[in-house]
Structures are given as C-alpha cells and as structure tokens.
Amino acid sequence: MATEDKNRATAAAILPLVGGAANVSSVVHCMTRLRLGLHDRSLVQDEALKAVPAVMGVVEDDTYQIVLGPGTVARVTPEFEKLVKEGQESAPAPDPAATPLTAEELAAQGAEMKAARKAKNATPFKLFLRKIANIFVPLIPALIGCGIIAGLNGLLVNLEWLPSVTPALAAMASGFMALIAVFVGYNTAKEFGGTPILGGAVAAIIVFPGVANIEAFGQKLSPGQGGVLGALGAAVLAVYVEKWCRRWVPEALDVLVTPTLTVLVSGLVTIFGLMYVAGEVSTAIGTFADWLLSNGGAGAGLVLGGFFLPLVMLGLHQALIPIHTTLIEQQGYTVLLPILAMAGAGQVGAAIAVFFRLPRNESIRRTIKSALPAGFLGVGEPLIYGVSLPLGRPFITACVGGAFGGAFVGFFNQLGDAVGSTAIGPSGWALFPLLDGNHGLGATIAIYAGGLVVGYLAGFVATYFFGFSKELLAEFNVSQEPAASTVTATGPATVGAGPEAPAKEPAGV
C-alpha cells in the first residue's frame, strides 16, 4: 500500500504542473518516460515539475516527456491516468464567456504551437520511425522477462541443477519468441489504422507449423521464416487490403467479405512472396552483423559506440529496434546492443569529469550527483540533457568514451567471443542479467564489464582534458545558478536551454 500511495502521490504532484486534467489529451509511457499529449504547452510549470523528487528530467518533443526511470514510470502511469480521468469527469463544462481569449486567438495560438512542433519533429522519416517504435516498444517488457528467464535457465543447465525444472523454464523463455510475429502483426495493424486482430491473424500464418508443407520459389517454407520483418510486411499489407475493402464492399456484406478478403489476399501474398523475401532479408541482417563484428571488430565497435548518442538525439536509433529483434529471433541474442550500450558508459565518465572540472558550480554538481545512479543503470537522459549536451564539448567527449568502450567489445567479437543481449531496452548495469554469448556466461560478463570500465575511463579522460576550453571553464566554473534549461535532471536549473537551443553557445565548442 505504501508503494501505491507513493506512485499516486507522484502522479498527483505532476498533474497540476502540466496544466491539470483538462490540459491532457493523451497518456502513454515507454521504458523510462511518461509521454503526455497536451492541449496548451504554455500551462506547464517546467521548473516546479523538475523539482518533483521522482522526476529525473523532462524532454519536449512531439509529446511532453517526463523522465521517471524504468519501473517507476510503469507504476506511476496508471495512477496518472486514473487522476486524469477523474479530473476530466468532474470538471465543469467550460464557459466560453469566461475565457480571456477569443476563439480566433485560441485557434491562432494552437496553430502556431502545432506548426512549431511539426517543423521540429514531424518529418516523414521520423514519423515512420515512430510508428516502428510504437510497434516494438510494447513488446520490450516480455522480451526482458523472457530473456532473464532464458539466462537463468542457461545457468541452471550449465551447472546441471534442477533438471526437472529447466524444461519448464525453457518453455517460458521460448514461448513468447515463438509467437512474437503474431504480436508484431497485431501492433502493426493497430498502428497503421487497421483491425489489430486481422493483422495478428495474417502474421500467425508465418509461425504456423503447416507452412512446412508449402513450396515457394522452388523451396519448402519453414515455420517462422521471415520472422518479425515478414509479420510487419504482412500486417501492413493486410491494413491496405482492409481499407480497400471498406471503401468498395457494400455495408450489408462488409462484416463477412472484408475480413475474409483481408486474410485471404494478404495470406496468399505472405505465403508465396513475403515469407521468402523477408526470410532472405532477415538472414542477410544476421550475416551482415556477424561479418561486421568478425571483420570490423574494434573499428566497427568504435563507430557504433561513438555515434549511438547522436542517433538517439536525432531519434534515428528507433530504426535499430527491428534489427535487434530479428537478431534475437535468429541467434537468441543481439550482438549490437552491448556495443551500443557503451555510449551510456562514455556519458557517465564524462559526467564524472564535469563534476571534478566544475568544483564551484553547485547546480551542475547536484544535477550530476542525482543523475549518476540512473546513468549507471542505463538511464542516460538526465545526464545527456541536463549536463553534457548543453555544455557542448562534453557531449562530444562522451561520444569518444562510448567509441572506446564499443571498440573494446568489438575487438573481442573479432576474436570470436560474441557478447550479446537476449532482450532490448535495458543498458548499463541493468543489462548484466540479459547477457549471453558463445563462450560461457563468465567470459561474456567479463568482456561487457571491461567495456563499461573502458567507456567510463575514456569518457572521463577525454572530458577532463579536452572537454573544456578556457572560456567554457570561466563561464561555468562559478558559484551561481545558470539559466534554466528546457531539459534537466532533478534539482536546480542546469547549464543550458536543452538540446534544441542552448541559452549560450559555449566558447570553443
């Protein structure tokens, strides 16, 4: 009960600071953030919101995003939704005469805000990537849970403990992955505006054992061939077929004809085309990932680890989600995630260096102290948006730390010691329970831990010696509160105005 009260108290503290229930148009959450659709952004009290103890930071994108951290966000969101619903149901009908603005002024204000957001965030490519993320992100909790069970089962099998229990654990760990195509199909149809269950029905064809009796392109099909990419394509096709049917089929026959034609047409194309093509693409992704790390090794790890933070800032990292899922489906783990996780290690090392380089700036030091524990666990937003990015150079040197950590892990991949993760989502220390590889759990953990240490050290050294110009030190190594930032961690205002527009351009960046 105490935990429920704490989560409800957090939700109750947040709600009035975002303009109350009437200002909330939508509520969703991802792994770490409460994402709110707001009618009027000007009603949000940013500074007061940042001071809420559970709030690690805020990010303004197409939605207003409040960083609460993994675990916490999943518990606070339902309480927040209840409060919003209660507030909206009890709110009196608005009195048009009481508003200080005319309808034209309100419309102009809303149009201006919407246009500004679209200009920043609504490029076609970003919108497409958001759709892809919306399909796969809801699957992450199941991937994590099943991944941890798979790791536990592997440990018990290697130790030859509980032989009567390990088959049951194997079933629990593998059941979701055996049917993941169905869930992808369901979410895809939902995201693209179709009937979700029809998307799931078409995607289920891919994992049906009976497809082994079917030939396509002169080859026998295999159950699961094409995997999540095939399910994605099949469900998108089903949505377009369904929409076509809704336009042309008479209403009296719609309930019978539309679902039948949707499954029939999409199913035939999936069986005799998409499964083969998506299977070849999936195989190529796995082969390329293996080739890249086997031949590129340290160089590939350097590039992947070094450029991951900029990809996150641009929102382009979402394109990697289907690739991770495909690798997990094929090989049991993704070899890319542990390398990309080194970007967070570089960020932590850089933040520690900033802490020591700015001994007089109490504000930044408090921000770092409050955000470091989350940073070690792989939640990097407070450090990125509240420390390194507004400062400029430390963000670049944090990327250098990630590059060195990625190179370390990539080097061992080149030597034949694959380090992978059985799920996506966690990073930093939180990734340890999900690690897997081809040379035993001990070696895998040691390599990943070594990469983190290298990332910490490289990020620290690069930032300490090269992250500050004389002008930057003179500007920020002072005992005063800097300008408020658009995105900060818990605590007083930080160094800049966020990733889009820092208050001042640091000298020498």
30 is an active site residue = yes
Rounded CA-CA distance 89/78 in Å is: 17
Helix (H, G, I), strand (E, B) or coil at 315: coil
Q: Contacts from 268-274 at CB under 8 Å and sequence distance 24+?
A: 269/234, 269/237, 270/202, 270/205, 270/206, 270/230, 270/233, 270/234, 270/237, 271/205, 271/211, 271/214, 271/216, 271/221, 272/216, 273/216, 274/226, 274/230, 274/233, 274/234, 274/237
CB 397 within 8 A of CB 348: no
Instruction: Give the CA distances from residue 203 to residues 95, 142, 195, 214, 264, in Å, rounded to whole numbers and listed in that order.
Output: 49, 18, 13, 16, 12
Task: Name the catalytic one among 30, 146, 245, 399.
Answer: 30
Rounded CA-CA distance 311/509 in Å is: 20
* C-alpha angle 425-429-434 in degrees, rounded to nearest 5: 55
Contact residues for 343 (Cβ-Cβ < 8 A; gap 6+): 305, 306, 308, 309, 312, 380, 398, 399, 402, 405, 406, 455
Rounded CA-CA distance 263/199 in Å is: 8
Rounded CA-CA distance 380/369 in Å is: 13
CB 457 within 8 A of CB 418: no
Helix (H, G, I), strand (E, B) or coil at 492: coil
Neighbouring CB atoms inside 10 A of 87's CB total 16
Rounded CA-CA distance 356/139 in Å is: 40
Residues with active-site annotation: 30
